[in-house]
């Protein structure tokens, strides 16, 4: 393993431990001698990593340290680029812009050879099957999820019948052929899937759901039959009011 990769691996190991971990444990996990480990810790400290501890006591990485432009491993760069390319094709415009900005920030601090690897990765994303057809602002959906607020939703089913309901947003799913809001519906007293292209109006309410979103997300996942979220629900199931 190259030394740069070893230093990165050491940082990743330290991030997994919130309490001091012994040098012997770190050395064993990295497959290096204790002497090499001490040298690597000293190198990271010199580069600005807030690693506290000493031999015989243990080491801990304090929060807030940002990676220097060391480095991503090649596989990590490929994973990043594949993710950005997927977002670019299948997400809505604000998310696509955010991903583009994030990629530019990462690329700006990479060494030249890694920047070239990032730009020339051969992993591609297939063609897009849908055209944006929402009449509502998906940023409002994401804000409701993030801020844990209720939504007033005007929704048309597959037959065109329009209903008004109050929902508790849980998650927003992006699929190749549609986008779906997972929410608890006060009218149905159950979790429902709402296609975003059938939403006619949204109002962000000040009221908060009585349960935290993380708890509802866990409950929804456990209530879903079969493999954990392999694909979008079939259209008939999505359109049920």
pLDDT in tens, the chain (241 residues): 667 778 878 888 888 877 889 999 999 988 899 999 999 999 888 877 888 887 778 899 887 655 554 467 777 788 888 888 888 888 888 888 888 888 887 777 677 777 787 777 778 787 776 666 788 888 899 999 999 999 999 999 989 999 999 999 999 998 877 889 999 999 999 999 999 999 999 999 999 999 999 999 999 999 876 544 434 444 434 434 4
DSSP β-bridge partners for residue 191: 184
Q: Which residues contact 149 (CB under 8 A, 6 or more apart)?
A: 143, 169, 204, 205, 206, 207, 208
**Helix ranges, the chain (H):** 3-16, 23-30, 34-46, 74-90, 93-109, 112-119, 138-147, 213-223, 235-239
Q: Residue 172 in contact with residue 142, Cβ under 8 Å?
A: yes
pLDDT digits (tens, 9 = 90+) for 160-209: 999 999 999 999 998 877 889 999 999 999 999 999 999 999 999 999 99
| Whole-number pLDDT of residue 239 | 39
CA-based nearest residue to 182, from 143, 141, 152: 141
β 51-54/58-61 pair status: antiparallel
DSSP string computed for 170-210:
EEEEE-SS-EEEEEEETTTTEEEEEEGGGEEEEEE-S---S
| 3-61: CATH, from 3.30.420.40, 1.10.10.10, 3.40.50.970, 2.60.40.650 | 1.10.10.10
The residue extents of the domains of the chain are 3-61, 74-119, 138-239
């Amino acid at each position: 393993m190259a030394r740069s990769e070893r230093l990165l691996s050491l940082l990743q190991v330290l991030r997994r431990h919130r309490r001091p971990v012994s040098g012997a444990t770190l050395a064993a996990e990295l497959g290096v001698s204790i002497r090499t480990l001490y040298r690597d810790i000293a190198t990271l400290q010199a580069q600005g990593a807030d690693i506290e501890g000493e031999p015989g006591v243990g080491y801990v990485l304090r929060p807030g340290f940002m990676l220097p432009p060391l480095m991503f491993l090649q596989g990590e760069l490929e994973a990043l680029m594949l993710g950005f390319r997927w977002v670019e094709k299948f997400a809505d415009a604000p998310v696509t812009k955010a991903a583009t900005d994030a990629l530019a920030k990462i690329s700006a601090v990479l060494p030249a050879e890694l920047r070239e690897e990032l730009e020339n990765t051969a992993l591609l994303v297939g063609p897009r099957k849908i055209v944006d057809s929402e009449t509502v602002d998906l940023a409002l959906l994401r804000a409701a999820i993030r801020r844990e607020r209720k939504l007033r939703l005007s929704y048309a089913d597959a037959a065109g019948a329009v209903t008004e309901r109050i929902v508790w947003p849980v998650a927003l799913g992006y699929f190749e052929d549609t986008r779906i809001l997972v929410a608890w519906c006060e009218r149905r007293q159950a979790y429902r899937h709402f296609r975003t292209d059938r939403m006619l109006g949204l109002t962000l309410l000040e009221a908060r759901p009585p349960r935290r979103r993380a708890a509802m997300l866990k409950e929804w996942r456990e209530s879903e039959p079969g493999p954990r979220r392999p694909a979008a629900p079939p259209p008939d199931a999505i359109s049920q009011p």
